[in-house]
């Protein structure tokens, strides 16, 4: 199957959350014959019912069968390893079986794109506690995808980018404690992030990405008065990046740099820690936010929100972010 023919694979996420609902709603809105859900057929039928729809479901043995699916029929590839009875998992609650199934769908989707049966992966939300209860060792999608993409035991360097129509931010550190994040910030980790961000934006069609680098400390350290990380690690990484031809500038105070990027001065902000970057983007609204894993050998996007257990099963979940993730995946995959 050629890259142009291979479908985008939508993993259903946690069966107890809104993932199945937004997969159905996004598929209805964005279907172009190139979308295939990776999930449990019974769970997806339940989600269709929650949305008040009457929609036939095609149970596929593999994504390669997508061209045989009649128009208007939701295509669902159910990996053989999914447990039976998943549809009986408690809606809106943490459930180990749902966590295990979410992980199995991700693994199956990665195998498919690696085999050329998928052009990209769009992941619906998982629940980290359900992952933990299922014995899955990864704290989130990013780390799991990185491990699944490893070759000969070598993990590819990856970074999380969160983007919407107004702002993009790439993170140096992701899912760890604040103390651990500070310990992980050094010249090499910041420079590697600059390289990954620059390469990714060039693939999006930005010929010379303008990268703003956020500091870690208040006022970007104020010349060492409030911390030395900017002097010891961040500024040297910026200088090294510029020497390589990367248009990186900073470090700038983290409380103002995002406003500057939003008004068009920069194409992306490299942020040192998870909350510095994500609060800025999410404050603008999660409806159009897209999470992208940069550095993988395949395209992966996801909506900018969680499982929303409080509204799961009510048919009211907003699929806008999932739709935006599908559109970005298409662009990145060249479709």
- Are 36 and 143 within one domain? yes
Residue 247 lies in a domain: yes
Residue 4's pLDDT band (cuts 50, 70, 90): low
Give the range of the structural domain holding residue 321, as residue numbers without chain letter. 8-157+286-333
pLDDT of residue 139: 84
Phi, psi of 35 (to 5 degrees): -115, 135
- First CA to last CA distance, the chain: 14
Tokens 């020497």 sit at which residue?
243
- Are 250 and 104 within one domain? no
54-68, 100-114, 276-290: least confident range: 276-290
Number of domains in the chain: 2
pLDDT, tens digit, 9 for 90 and up, residues 150-187: 998 899 999 999 988 899 999 999 888 999 999 999 99
Residues 224, 231 contacting (CB under 8 angstroms) = yes
Residue 286's pLDDT band (cuts 50, 70, 90): low
Query: Is pLDDT of 93 > 80?
Result: yes
74: three-class secondary structure by DSSP: strand
pLDDT, tens digit, 9 for 90 and up, residues 293-308: 999 999 999 998 899 9
CB atoms within 10 A of CB 103: 22
- Are 41 and 190 within one domain? no
**Token pair of 92 as six digits:** 């809106």
Burial (0-12, 13-18, 19+ Cβ within 10 Å), 165: exposed
Query: Is pLDDT of 1 > 50?
Result: no
2-11, 129-138, 167-176, 311-320: least confident range: 2-11
From residue 246, how far is each of 200, 201, 211, 236, 239 by CA, in Å? 12, 11, 8, 13, 9
- Are 311 and 294 within one domain? yes
- Are 150 and 83 within one domain? yes
pLDDT of residue 113: 97
- Are 13 and 109 within one domain? yes
- Are 119 and 251 within one domain? no
Q: Looking at residues 249-276, what average pLDDT do you find?
A: 96
- Are 169 and 23 within one domain? no
> Which carries the bigger pLDDT value, residue 5 or residue 212?
212
Residues 291, 162 contacting (CB under 8 angstroms) = yes
Q: What angle do CA 281, 285, 289 make, to 5 degrees?
A: 65
Q: Which pTM was predicted? A: 0.88
Residue 179 lies in a domain: yes
Query: Is pLDDT of 192 > 90?
Result: yes
CATH of the domain at 290: 3.40.718.10
Edge to edge, the sheet with strand 247-252 lists 57-60, 74-77, 35-38, 8-11, 120-123, 300-303, 290-294, 159-163, 168-171, 268-271, 210-214, 247-252
Longest Cα separation, the chain: 66
**Token pair of 328 as six digits:** 């970005």
- Are 146 and 191 within one domain? no
- DSSP track, 212-242: EEE-SSGGGGGGGTT-SHIIIIIHHHHHHHH
């Amino acid at each position: 199957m050629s890259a142009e023919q291979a479908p985008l694979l939508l993993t259903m996420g946690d069966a107890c959350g809104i993932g199945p609902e937004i997969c159905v709603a996004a598929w209805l809105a964005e279907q172009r014959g190139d979308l295939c859900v990776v999930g449990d057929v019974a769970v997806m039928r339940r989600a269709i019912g929650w949305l008040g729809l009457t929609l036939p479901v095609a149970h596929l043995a593999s994504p390669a069968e997508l061209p045989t699916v009649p128009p208007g029929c939701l295509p669902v590839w159910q990996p053989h390893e999914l447990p039976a009875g998943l549809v009986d998992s408690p809606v809106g609650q943490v459930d180990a079986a749902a966590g295990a199934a979410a992980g199995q769908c991700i693994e199956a989707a990665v195998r498919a794109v690696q085999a050329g049966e998928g052009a990209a992966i769009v992941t619906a939300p998982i629940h980290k506690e359900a992952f933990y209860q299922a014995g899955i060792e990864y704290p989130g999608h990013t780390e799991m995808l990185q491990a699944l993409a490893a070759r000969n035991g070598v993990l590819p360097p990856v970074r999380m980018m969160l983007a919407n129509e107004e702002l993009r931010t790439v993170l140096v550190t992701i899912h760890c404690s604040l103390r651990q994040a500070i310990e992980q910030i050094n010249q090499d980790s910041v420079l590697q992030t600059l390289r990954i961000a620059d390469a990714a934006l060039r693939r999006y069609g930005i010929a010379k990405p303008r990268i703003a680098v956020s500091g870690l400390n208040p006022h970007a350290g104020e010349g060492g008065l409030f911390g030395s990380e900017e002097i010891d690690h961040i500024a040297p990484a910026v200088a090294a990046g510029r020497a390589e031809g990367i248009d990186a500038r900073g470090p700038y105070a983290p409380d103002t740099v995002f406003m500057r990027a939003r008004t068009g001065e920069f194409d992306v902000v490299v942020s040192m820690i998870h909350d510095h970057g994500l609060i800025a983007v999410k404050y603008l609204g999660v409806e159009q936010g897209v999470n992208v894993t940069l550095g993988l050998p395949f395209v992966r996007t996801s909506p900018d929100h969680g499982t929303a257990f409080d509204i799961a099963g009510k048919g009211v979940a907003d699929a806008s972010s999932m739709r935006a993730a599908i559109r970005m995946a298409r662009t990145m995959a060249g479709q």
